[in-house]
Amino acid sequence: MTQVVIAKYMALMVVFLVPVAIMCIYPLILTAFGHVYLPVVFGTMLAFYLMGGALIAIGMFVSSLTDNQAVAAGINFVIMLVIYFITDLSEYAATTAVGSLLALTVVVILFSVLVGFMTKSVFSGFTIGVVLEAALIAFFTIRRGSFEGLFPSLMNKLSIFERFYTFVQGVFDITGIVYFLSIIGVCLFLTVQSLEKRRWS
């Protein structure tokens, strides 16, 4: 199953590479008409390609959770919108300490549901959720001040698009490259696990 998932992902990445490669030609043409700082341009193109690869990997994982492609497409659309707007939404929803606590509680609940779904064990999902929420409340009680603006700050650091914008601004961010590759690796691993569980269930 691992080979099938990797092969499918690589095929999608090759298809995605075609328009990116075409876009890489434009800066070379523009150098004939003025100065173009190619390292920044091609660094941005690399980041764009890896960002696309991360989004494709997320889409593959979501699609592996259901046989209904229409449902998978709808969920993927919503997830992509959330990923794109999460930084702006988090600033409106959770600027206070209590707001950050509530927002992180929602994240814990969603994570617990995902664990329960992946393991097919309500008990595992519930247990992990209770442990994480207890740790969150304990940390909030001890260091409430640290929660001021915590959720927007975390979302900004975890945002796929914010990482890409760093490259657009002319900074070749190695941590951004590692972040994109990490998302790809984790999502492909989860895709394999999801398909294996559906195969034997």
Q: What is the pLDDT of residues 143-181, one digit of tens each?
A: 888 888 888 888 888 889 989 999 988 888 899 999 999
pLDDT band per the 50, 70, 90 thresholds, residue 8: very high
Which string of DSSP letters, residue by residue, matches 57-98? HHHHHHHHT-S-HHHHHHHHHHHHHHHHHHHHHHHHH--SHH
Helix 97-119 and helix 122-142, axial crossing angle in degrees, nearest 10 = 160
> Among 55-59, 85-89, 108-112, which stretch is predicted with the lowest mean pLDDT?
85-89
Q: Tokens representing 195?
A: 């398909």
pTM score, whole prediction: 0.83
pLDDT band per the 50, 70, 90 thresholds, residue 79: confident
**In terms of Cα–Cα distance, which of 42, 50, 31 is closest to 164?**
50
Residues 6+ apart with CB under 8 A from 48: 20, 164, 167
Q: What is the pLDDT of residues 32-60, one digit of tens each?
A: 787 878 888 899 999 999 999 999 999 99
Give the pLDDT confidence score for residue 179 in this predicted structure.
94
Residues 6+ apart with CB under 8 A from 201: 120
